[in-house]
Amino acid sequence: MPVLHLRAKPNARRNQLEMTSNGVVTVRLHAPAQDGQANTCLLGYLAEVFGVNKSSLMLLSGHTAPFKKVEIGGLAEAEFRAVLARSRAE
């Protein structure tokens, strides 16, 4: 199962996944970093982006930090890389 290493930035205008040319993934989240709202928003948004069920995602680390690791189940490595490649192109 692929593991996504990312930086979460809460309180954004909208949810957005960005990947820089050097491979750093940033996810901007509409939700505030309060009472787990940003983490819930993050998992829901990533499920939508990668086309998997929210229950297929697991926050491995970074529950209270901006740098997080999210395991994405039910997704092949090739599909995972294709989604990230599209986020880089946009």
Q: Domain of 73: which CATH number?
A: 3.30.1200.10
Cα–Cα distance, 80 to 40 (Å, whole number): 20
Residue type, 34: Q
For residue 81, which amino acid is it?
R
pLDDT of res. 90: 54
**Tokens standing for residue 49:** 């982006």
Evaluate if residue 88 carries a pLDDT over 90: no
* Tally of structural domains, the chain: 1
Q: Write down the pLDDT at residue 87.
A: 81
* Least reliable range by pLDDT among 16-20, 40-44, 53-57, 64-68: 16-20
Domain span including residue 7: 3-89
* Interval 22-47: pLDDT, tens: 888 999 999 999 999 999 999 999 99
Instruction: Give the β-pairing of 25-28 and 57-61.
Output: unpaired
Whether the Cβ atoms of residue 27 and residue 42 lie closer than 8 Å to each other: yes
Q: Which helix (H) or strand (E) holds 12?
A: none
